[in-house]
Amino acid sequence: MKTVLCLLPAMMLLATLPAMSAGRDSWVELQVGPSMPVGGLHRSAGPGFQGGLSARFMDSDQFGVGVDVAYHAWGVANTPAQWPLSTIAPTWTVETNAIQTTAHGRAEFRPNQRIRPYVEGGWGFYWIEGTLSSAGVTIKGGREQFVCFTAGTGVTLPVNPTLRIGLSSSYHRVVSGQTDVADGGLFTLALRLVPRPSAVPTAP
């Protein structure tokens, strides 16, 4: 149930995107790549992977807005090196994952060229869940909500009129509002497959 509630805002935004993009150029992006926690988040999460979906419409050749939904599966963090529980539970490990739902704005450059660099910035939420385990004993925590700010850059290259491929990198600042193991951030790299479901020209 909590997972459904986490995804509900993103599903609502995705559902309204076709109406918002009527008469404009809309794209859907599939992405996959490494997700690397840093700062406070690194205490409870090792390097992992992320995969997700973005939907975006471009109001012009250069500017657009969209929404991102992604799942981050981070690696095991061993408490002796990375977690405060090391003093009382040195054999425990913690596994952490997160659901990301964020909105973004994009500015593309060189719109008339094949290779198009771009910058993005966004805001949204992370729902983070941690699981402690040791010697067959597992303690699963609840999924907690955190505010997130994102900034990144990338490049896209058209393969044909309805498909692009891209590479991107971004930094996600996860804010807990208090001293917490989740307060920190992460870097992501992504390979993007960008099919375009519609290409409706704008009116002159």
Mean per-residue pLDDT, 147-155: 95
* CA 60 distance to own-chain centroid: 24
Task: Please state the pTM of the whole predicted model.
Answer: 0.77
Per-residue confidence (pLDDT) for residue 105, from 0 to 100? 94
DSSP for 22-40 reads TTSEEEEEEEEEEEEEEEG
What pLDDT is attached to residue 138? 65
84-120 b/e (C-beta count within 10 Å ≥ 16 → b): ebeeeeeebbbbbbbbbbbbbebebeeeeeeebebeb
203, pLDDT greater than 70: no
Q: Cα(86)–Cα(64) distance, rounded to whole angstroms? A: 46
- State in Å, rounded, how far the first CA of the chain is from the last one: 47
Query: Distance between CA 158 and CA 132 in Å, rounded?
Result: 44
Domain ranges of the chain: 33-199
Lowest mean pLDDT among 17-21, 113-117, 122-126, 195-199: 17-21
Per-residue pLDDT for 32 more than 90?
yes
**CATH second-level architecture of 33-199?**
Beta Barrel (2.40)
Two structure tokens written together for 129: 């869940």
